Amino acid sequence: MDDIKNLKERILESIVDLLGEYTFANGLKEKAIAVDIGGKYPPKNTKISGLECVIVPQSELSASWMLGSGVSLEVSHRIELKQWDEKPNRQLMIAVQRLVITFGSDLNVGPRLAPIDKLGNIESCSMIFTNYENRRLIRNG
């Protein structure tokens, strides 16, 4: 859990000025960055504006067989960027560039989805974050 908090802080440091806001039902506001499993956050009746960043912890799991005996198990986290502003802007592209610079090869950037009005799609991009601390070598025998 500490590595997720650490990841959130590093993301905040690099894109804090680009992030939008959550406005909760009680009127209080918060930077639009969240750690979420299963769509529980933000709570109901929260309005989201601007660029949102959602970290989905341990969303990906992959195993690869090593030479000899053993398996390398890799747990990765997904970082999703969503642009809720309807006016076209470059915030999401800039955020992706900054995150790539911050995390280097630990970050695997997925395709960017362009906004499509007719389908109600918003601009979004999802990335997979993996680092060495998330790799476990399991030996059999």
Q: How far is the CB of 25 from another protein (least distance, A)?
A: 4
Q: Is residue 20 a contact point for another protein (CB under 8 A)?
A: no
* 122 touches another protein by CB under 8 A: no
Contact segment (CB under 8 A) with another protein among 2-10, 68-76, 83-91, 116-124 equals: 2-10
d(CA 25, CA 23): 7
Answer for which of 45, 65, 105, 133 binds another protein (CB under 8 A) is 45
**CA dist list (Å): 10 to 4, 45, 97, 102:** 10, 28, 14, 8
How near is the Cβ of 105 to another protein at its closest, in Å? 26
**What DSSP line would sit under 51-115, residue for residue?**
EEEEEEEEEEEEEEEPSSS-EEEEEEEEEEEEE--SS--SHHHHHHHHHHHHHGGGEEEEEEEPP
Q: Does 25 engage in binding with another protein (CB under 8 A)?
A: yes
51 binds another protein, rule: CB under 8 A: no
3-state secondary structure of 43: coil
Tell me which residues touch another protein (CB under 8 A). 1, 4-5, 8, 24-26, 28, 30, 34-37, 41-45, 57
